[in-house]
């Protein structure tokens, strides 16, 4: 009876020391890590005792974690944030010490503690929780982890990335913490099949926009920049993406750029896709290209500035793509770009970029888009091996109206459709590969079109094709290879014929004659041999006798003849030939300068009567070539040039 009374007295007297002694040991060990003054921090000696006990009695881990969570909740409700920090630090140390054995027992309590902190209205607690989560994410678990839900953390960290806190420094810290939190979620889940699939659209549609919003921000002076941390996280995310994840990772980028109008100006859009292309595995890069192409088609009814932005991003992505291929559907890439080019021409002609004629566009805007498409075609062509470039050129020619083959030649769109091939052809490195007969014949047929702009463009293309050493500007001597000899043997007569006929076009202007001189000069430099030189001289002699042309055209023809022979005579033929050319040149010099626009000289009025002394003499030139390496071709030289319809040479 006396003993019972003593116990009751003790209980009612509130002798906490006796009651505390009756508490479970794990609770006493947890309580001992908290100092009387929270500013003193975690009691390290007592923390070591708690850690030793946890390792010695792993069956108590779940109770220790639950009690730490209980203490944190209590201190959080009392706004004793110093003790809250101590509780989180203790849990972190337990996780690090016990991860080899029973970390799964601790994780649920740990994550519940983080949720409490992230749901609080204190920014410093959000930052504390994020820091703890990042430490946890860096722990490599040795035991399989059962399914854990990280949905809350993805959502909360993404919200932190959009923080609009009134204090800029605090706002930056919250955003940086959110970015690091997302980075931690990715690291923790991406390689664990038992955990949540972070690549699902519902997660990517939260993570990617949160990163892109901060990628747009500029570095704040004197503070931590969300931009730098964002780029690191974005690159890591993309670098971990497997083949089946690329689409889900890139689609939110396209949606974000659409919804925020970021294609126009394209600097940010280009930055995003530079990061994407350099971060993903190289064998997956064609998937990004395909998504961009599909997005371009989806925006066919968007303003020209939007379409041009997407196209230019495509162009830069093609340059970065380094594997030499744009995927299994190479022609589909060019088909999409050609389709956009044709649509742009239609919009330019109608003045609207929609069928209902409600949204106006301008010729200048559509021209910007067309230039971007042409540039992009060149960028893609540059990634292809040579044999594929030839296939692509033939594919493109099949889309263009050709005289005598396609009935739509007279369409007002034909000129616009044709221009896009120029960049494609400039990428060729082998004449035989770049110019198969099936391609050269329809190309040359354009030199006879009524439109002078297209004729001038064809001359420029032909010059560019042959001018692989960039001789058009400096015209030095170049060595003719065996392949070049084969090419000129096969196609020379076609080239000469179209030069001859082009000179007779009444609508030709100064630009055409300048282009003709450049083309002939490049021919003589890149592909010159004795046969070619003889044929070119025969061609010039035949050109200068035209009498049925206007004054301007006759002046142009004489200017072409004089300028070309002056150049040719300095590239190797015997000195007597150069002497004759020099003697004839002065009388027509002013005409040549006038046609080429270097000085202003009035053209003669009425008919142009050219004295024979102002013409190049066939007999004197033949005499000049006699006794040289050209002697073997004298018989051919004495035969007047006549245009031929095929590549077969004249036989005598």
pLDDT of residue 557: 83
Give a yes or no: residue 618 inside a domain.
yes
Q: Which residues contact 261 (CB under 8 A, 6 or more apart)?
A: none
Look at 488 and 29; give whichever has higher pLDDT: 29
- Please state the rounded mean pLDDT for residues 628-634: 75
Q: Quick one: pLDDT band at residue 367, thresholds 50, 70, 90? A: confident
Q: Which residues contact 26 (CB under 8 A, 6 or more apart)?
A: 50, 53, 57, 60, 63, 64, 67
pLDDT of residue 118: 94
Q: How far apart are CA 327 and CA 333, in angstroms?
A: 9
Tokens found for residue 491: 């196609």
pLDDT at 101 over 60: no
Alpha helices in 383-427, H assignment, sequence order:
386-397, 414-419, 421-426
pLDDT at 435 over 80: no
Which residue do the tokens 């090419």 mark? 487
Q: Quick one: pLDDT band at residue 615, thresholds 50, 70, 90? A: confident
pLDDT at 12 over 50: no
pLDDT at 69 over 70: yes
Task: Give one DSSP letter per residue of 299-334, joined into a string.
Answer: TTTS-HHHHHHHHHHHHHHHHH--SS---S-HHHHH
Tokens found for residue 329: 């559907």
pLDDT of residue 462: 73
pLDDT of residue 490: 79
- Please state the rounded mean pLDDT for residues 609-632: 75
Specify whether the CB–CB gap between 401 and 414 falls below 8 A. Answer: yes
Tens-place pLDDT, residues 533-560: 888 888 888 887 765 677 778 778 888 8
Specify whether the CB–CB gap between 293 and 314 falls below 8 A. Answer: yes
Q: 252-275 b/e with 16+ CB inside 10 Å = b? A: bbbebbbeeebbeebebbbbbbeb
Give a yes or no: residue 602 inside a domain.
yes
- Percentage of the residues of the chain whose pLDDT score is greater than 70: 72
Q: In total, how many domains does the chain have?
A: 1
pLDDT at 415 over 70: no
pLDDT at 633 over 90: no
Alpha helices in 551-651, H assignment, sequence order:
551-568, 575-595, 618-625, 634-637
pLDDT at 356 over 90: no
Q: How far apart are CA 33 and CA 56, in angstroms?
A: 18
pLDDT of residue 191: 67
246: nearest Cα among 206, 216, 289? 289
Look at 255 and 335; give whichever has higher pLDDT: 255
pLDDT of residue 275: 92
- Chain-centroid distance, C-alpha 250: 14
pLDDT of residue 4: 46
Which residue do the tokens 């083949």 mark? 243
Specify whether the CB–CB gap between 53 and 91 falls below 8 A. Answer: no
Look at 49 and 9; give whichever has higher pLDDT: 49
Measured CA distances, 605 to 504, 548, 550, 598, 602 (Å): 20, 16, 11, 20, 9
Q: How far apart are CA 548 and CA 564, in angstroms?
A: 22
In this structure, of 135-149, 471-485, 537-551, 571-585, the range with the lowest mean pLDDT score is: 471-485
- Percentage of the residues of the chain whose pLDDT score is greater than 90: 23
Label residue 575 exposed, middle or buried (CB < 10 Å: 0-12, 13-18, 19+). exposed
Give a yes or no: residue 530 inside a domain.
yes
Give a yes or no: residue 520 inside a domain.
yes
Give a yes or no: residue 299 inside a domain.
no
Q: How far apart are CA 528 and CA 545, in angstroms?
A: 25
- Please state the rounded mean pLDDT for residues 291-296: 92
Q: How far apart are CA 652 and CA 637, in angstroms?
A: 12
Look at 390 and 413; give whichever has higher pLDDT: 390
HSE-CB of 72 using CA atoms within 13 angstroms: 26
Tokens found for residue 556: 């142009």
- Please state the rounded mean pLDDT for residues 439-463: 71
Mean pLDDT of the chain: 77
Label residue 284 exposed, middle or buried (CB < 10 Å: 0-12, 13-18, 19+). middle
pLDDT of residue 427: 36
Q: Quick one: pLDDT band at residue 607, thresholds 50, 70, 90? A: low
pLDDT at 254 over 50: yes
Which H or E run includes 542?
helix 530-543
Tokens found for residue 621: 């030139």
Q: How far apart are CA 543 and CA 295, in angstroms?
A: 53
Q: Which domain holds residue 515?
A: 467-473+499-644
pLDDT of residue 604: 59
| 640: phi then psi, degrees, rounded to nearest 5 | -60, 145
- Please state the rounded mean pLDDT for residues 9-15: 41
pLDDT of residue 521: 83
pLDDT at 142 over 80: no
pTM of the model: 0.67
pLDDT at 178 over 70: yes
C-alpha distance across the termini of the chain, in Å? 145
565: nearest Cα among 613, 533, 590? 533
CB atoms inside a 10 Å sphere around CB 377: 27
Specify whether the CB–CB gap between 96 and 80 falls below 8 A. Answer: no
Alpha helices in 190-322, H assignment, sequence order:
201-215, 226-239, 246-259, 267-279, 285-298, 304-320
pLDDT of residue 497: 86
Give a yes or no: residue 605 inside a domain.
yes
Tens-place pLDDT, residues 504-530: 788 888 888 888 888 888 887 776 677
pLDDT of residue 227: 84
Specify whether the CB–CB gap between 148 and 107 falls below 8 A. Answer: yes
Q: How far apart are CA 520 and CA 241, in angstroms?
A: 54
Give a yes or no: residue 639 inside a domain.
yes
Give a yes or no: residue 587 inside a domain.
yes
In this structure, of 63-77, 247-261, 585-599, the range with the lowest mean pLDDT score is: 585-599
């Amino acid at each position: 009876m006396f003993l019972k009374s003593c116990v009751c007295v003790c209980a009612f007297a509130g002798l906490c020391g006796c009651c505390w002694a009756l508490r479970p040991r794990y609770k006493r060990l947890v309580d001992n890590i908290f100092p009387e003054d929270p500013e003193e921090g975690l009691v390290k000696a007592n923390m070591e005792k708690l850690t030793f006990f946890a390792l010695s009695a792993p069956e108590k881990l779940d109770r220790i974690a639950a009690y730490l969570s209980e203490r944190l909740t209590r201190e959080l409700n009392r706004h004793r944030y110093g003790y809250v920090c101590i509780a989180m630090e203790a849990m972190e140390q337990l996780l690090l010490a016990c991860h080899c054995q029973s970390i799964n027992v601790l994780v649920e309590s740990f994550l519940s503690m983080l949720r409490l902190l992230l749901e609080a209205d204190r920014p410093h607690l959000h930052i504390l929780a994020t820091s703890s989560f990042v430490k946890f994410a860096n722990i490599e678990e040795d035991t399989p982890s059962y399914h854990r839900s990280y949905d809350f953390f993805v959502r909360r960290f993404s919200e932190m990335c959009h923080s609009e806190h009134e204090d800029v420094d605090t706002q930056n810290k919250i955003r940086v913490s959110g970015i690091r939190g997302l980075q931690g979620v990715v690291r923790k889940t991406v390689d664990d099949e038992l955990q949540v699939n972070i690549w699902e659209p519902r997660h990517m549609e939260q993570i990617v926009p949160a990163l892109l919003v901060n990628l747009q921000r500029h570095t704040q002076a004197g503070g931590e920049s969300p931009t730098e941390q964002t780029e690191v996280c974005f690159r890591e995310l993309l670098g971990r993406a497997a083949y089946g994840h690329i689409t889900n990772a890139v689609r939110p980028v396209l949606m974000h750029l659409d919804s925020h109008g970021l294609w126009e100006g394209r600097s940010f859009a280009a930055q995003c896709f530079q990061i994407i292309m350099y971060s993903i595995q190289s064998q997956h890069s064609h998937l990004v290209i395909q998504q961009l192409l599909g997005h371009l088609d989806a925006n066919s009814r968007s303003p020209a500035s939007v379409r041009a932005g997407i196209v230019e991003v495509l162009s830069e992505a093609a340059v970065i793509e380094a594997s030499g291929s744009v995927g299994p559907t190479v022609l589909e890439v060019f088909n999409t770009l050609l389709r956009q080019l044709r649509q742009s021409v239609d919009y330019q002609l109608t003045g609207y970029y929609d069928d209902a004629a409600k949204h106006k566009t301008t010729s200048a805007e559509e021209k910007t888009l067309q230039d971007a498409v042409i540039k992009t075609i060149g960028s893609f062509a540059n990634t292809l091996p040579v044999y594929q470039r030839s296939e692509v050129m033939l594919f493109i020619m099949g889309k263009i109206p050709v005289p005598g083959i396609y009935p739509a030649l007279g369409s007002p769109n034909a000129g616009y459709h044709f221009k896009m091939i120029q960049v494609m052809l400039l990428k060729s490195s082998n004449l035989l590969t770049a110019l198969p007969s099936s391609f050269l014949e329809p190309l040359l047929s354009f030199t006879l079109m009524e439109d002078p702009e297209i004729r001038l463009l064809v001359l420029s293309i032909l010059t560019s094709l042959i001018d692989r050493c960039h001789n058009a500007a400096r015209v030095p001597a170049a060595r003719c290879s065996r392949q070049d000899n084969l090419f000129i043997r096969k196609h020379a007569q076609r080239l000469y014929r179209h030069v001859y006929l082009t000179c007779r076009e009444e609508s030709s202007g100064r630009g055409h004659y300048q282009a003709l001189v450049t083309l002939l000069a490049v021919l003589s430099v890149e592909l010159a041999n004795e046969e070619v030189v003889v044929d070119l001289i025969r061609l010039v002699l035949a050109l200068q006798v035209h009498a049925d042309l206007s004054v301007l055209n006759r002046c142009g023809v004489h200017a072409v003849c004089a300028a070309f022979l002056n150049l040719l005579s300095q590239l190797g033929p015997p000195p007597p030939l150069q002497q004759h050319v020099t003697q004839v040149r002065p009388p027509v010099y002013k005409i040549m300068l006038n046609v080429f626009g270097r000085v202003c000289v009035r053209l003669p009025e009425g008919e142009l009567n050219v004295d024979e002394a102002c013409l190049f003499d066939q007999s004197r030139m033949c005499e000049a070539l006699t006794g040289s390496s050209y002697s073997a071709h004298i018989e051919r030289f004495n035969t007047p040039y006549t245009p031929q319809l095929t590549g077969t040479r004249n036989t005598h």
